[in-house]
Amino acid sequence: MTCFGRSISRDVKRDILFHTSRVIGYRGWHRFHTKLVAISCCISASFLFLYSCQTVRLSDAREHFARGEYDAAVEVYRKLYRAIPPGQPAKRGVVGYEMGENYRHLNQSSHAVTAYRNAIRHGYPDTLMFYQFARMLHREGEYEQSIKAYRDYLKLRPGDAHALSGIAGAGQAMEWSKNKNPSFYRVEQVELFNSNRSDFSPMLNRRGDRLYFTSSREDARGERSLVTGMKYNDIFFAPINVHGEWQYPRQLESPVNTDFDEGTPAFSPDGEWMYYTHAYADPNRPTGTVIHASRRVNGEWSGGREVEILPGDVHWSFAHPAPSPCGNYLFFVSDMPGGEGGKDIWRATLNSSTEVHSIVNMGPEINTPGDEMFPYAKSDSLLYFSSDGHPGMGGLDLFVAVKPIGAEQWQVQNMRSPLNSSADDFGITFYPQSEKGFFSSNRDDARGYDHIYSFEQVDDTIRVEGIVVDHQDELIPGASVSVVGSDGSQRQFVTDGDGEYRFKAEAGVEYMFLASVEGFLNRRERLQAMPPDKDTLVYVDFEMIPFDKPVVMENIFYDFDSAVLRPESKEGLEELASLMMEHPEIYVELSAHTDRMGPDDYNRELSLRRARSVADYLVARGIDKDRLSAIGHGKSQPESVSKKTAGRYDFLKEGDILSEEFIEQLPSGQQEVADQINRRTSFKVIGNNSGTHRR
């Protein structure tokens, strides 16, 4: 039996030593030939291996693989690979390749990469192996390595469309990864809905108060599948309670669920019909999938009946139903002839809810030689689907196809990160009239299991917030902040009781800020134009410089017992230089202070030389020397502890004077801290060129 729904592999023709059964489906949506295909004996080493003493065990593994029992097969291959003695590379190459194929079918791309790499290292002679190796690297997000591997494959198969698409997708993903916020969505895994098995293809009902999805969790009623090692899939649902809170999922108690596979549910616009995929079991035909429809009767879903897409006994699979919002069409996925290759999205015109009038392929704008699946029609001109044929980030990516009014063709766009990842991303559903919903992905799961994620579109909002403080980091309420935009906009803000202001900015607009408070210098800031982004928060803060009050310059350092400025002082000096350039009208007094050690005269002379060193630096930066004055105070003006300083040191309180007497009563470690606080350089705005306040 099969476990449909997720793509395991693409039906690609191969010229390899050992041909596997034809796989056309997704996560167990397969069609299998019931007998093992003949083994080609193209190289003698492989030929000998196939008929060596290992034949029985290798045959067991291959029989599992031919039946699609990948979970069982990979265990045999592991044991077989470990049993191969050293010095037999041909054997390791054969088993490594076939083991890689099993891991690929199980969506365990990291293990597949290792297995393929071993097969390549041991010289396994298969052309397509290089392509699958590149795909698995792509799925792992190893974009640079995958591009190299695709190019290696193109040397063997020049012009191959799949490889060219892979290179384009990996290159795009590398560019997108440079942007931290490449699309306007917030994505989170929904732990409530997920189990320790696969949960996928979420679908909201028309009211948005029930979420249906497919799951192989242990609560599923069927047996364990040899394909995946998990239970056969059933349909589960999660309701919303009266408080609008999602509740824990439970199995759909209905004849819809059987001992085999059901899943990928979707609903008619009136909510009366549920369409879903069902895997049939018929010993007289290959295993495949059909679309069933269940009608809601007295609040319960009836047993499903087949929606006959094509009349007669056909041998193609049909899955992933998606009704159109108008109810006249049913989108679905099939591998039947007449498409672009792989699995294609088709559209059926309905005579009734369960009768098909005609079908049409959605065409080359949507379908590719790869696989297109899991359609979701949000409107008549908006179709979401997943594909590994269009250039993408790896595995299946989510795409949106838009058909503008009056246009003949669909325009397809990759939905990018974070909706897409290097893994499989598929099965999207939206809340009614909303840009939020759910989708499924096997990202960040080495086992290849799928999980349900929520997503919500975030407005491309650029929020600007800021505070206005003084030189002691005290908040200043009532400060004026003027904002002028390059688009001609003008705004005026007054800081609140917490010294804060805020507003919403526009993308592509540059802003100039001017903060002003009486008794302080005006301060200017600039915010460069920003591109649209998702929910961006930018801080523009102001530190106001007072008139006629000393401002201690942070991080000004001198060599020991010297007036020579140390290199790490540059940042603080540059801040003062920028302030004086911003305000060419002001005059500044520079003051230096020492600690309590040493004679008074010596300390005054040392501090004066240090103050002059700061003045010399500013003059070298282009500041007029007549705007500067330097004073050395030595140890005559011990520091008064500010609130900011008291917050740093618990043994000090605001207002303490760090005099010799005060310091000498402190323990030795605290004395060193107090002496360091006293060793300071400060500046004070003493006036402007009109003579105000100048001394």
pLDDT digits over 666-692, tens only?
998 899 889 888 888 888 888 765 444
Calculate mean pLDDT across residues 292-298. 94
The size of the chain, in residues, is 695
Kindly report, residue by residue over 620-662, the tens digit of the pLDDT: 999 999 999 999 999 999 998 888 888 889 899 989 999 999 9
Residue 29 has pLDDT above 90, yes or no: no
Residue 37: CA atoms inside 13 Å, Cβ hemisphere, count? 13
Q: CA torsion 467→470→471→473, rounded to 10°?
A: -50
Beta bridge partners of residue 214, listed in sequence order:
200, 235
Rounded Cα–Cα distance for residues 23 and 29 (Å)? 8
C-alpha 64/C-alpha 71 separation (Å) is 9
Would strands 305-306 and 318-323 be described as parallel, antiparallel, or unpaired? unpaired
* Residue 111 predicted with pLDDT over 80: yes
- What sign does the dihedral 19-25-27-30 (CA atoms) show? negative
Place of tokens 């063997």: 156
CA-to-CA dists, residue 67 to 37, 57, 456, angstroms: 12, 16, 41
The CA distance from 221 to 142, in Å, is: 39
Average pLDDT over residues 361-366: 96
For 522-565, the pLDDT digits (tens) are: 999 999 888 766 568 899 999 999 988 888 887 787 766 788 88
Has residue 158 got a pLDDT over 50?
yes
CB 28 within 8 A of CB 75: no
- Say which amino acid occupies 384: Y
How many whole angstroms separate alpha carbon 500 and alpha carbon 478?
Answer: 9
- At residue 672, φ and ψ (nearest 5 deg) are -60, -40
Chain-centroid distance, C-alpha 255: 39
pLDDT above 70: percentage of residues in the chain:
87
Residue 521's closest CA among 542, 507, 503? Answer: 542
- What the chain holds in terms of domains, given with CATH numbers, is 44-177 (1.25.40.10), 197-413+426-434 (2.120.10.30), 462-543 (2.60.40.10), 551-688 (3.30.1330.60)
Read off the pLDDT of each residue in 4-13 and give the average, rounded to a whole number: 31
3-state SS class at 82: helix
Cα–Cα separations (whole angstroms), residue 90 to 83, 126, 127, 130: 14, 12, 16, 17
Structure tokens that stand for 596 in this block: 């309590």
pLDDT at position 45: 39
Dihedral angle of Cα 414, 420, 423, 425, to the nearest 10 degrees: -90
Structure tokens at 651: 């043994």
Q: Which candidate, 226, 292, 255, places its Cα nearest to that of 71?
A: 226
Q: What is the chain's mean pLDDT, rounded?
A: 85
Query: Which DSSP category does 19 fall into?
Result: P
Separation between Cα atoms, residue 179 and residue 156, nearest integer Å: 34
Residue given tokens 């093992």 in the structure block? 36
HSE at residue 9, side-chain half, CA atoms within 13 A, is 27
- The beta strand positions in 156-261, using DSSP E, are 185-189, 199-204, 210-215, 234-239, 250-251
* Least confident window among 18-22, 196-200, 457-461: 18-22
Q: Residue 487: CB partners within 8 Å, gap ≥ 6?
A: 506, 509
What does the alpha-carbon distance between residue 329 and residue 323 come to, in Å, rounded to a whole number?
Answer: 6
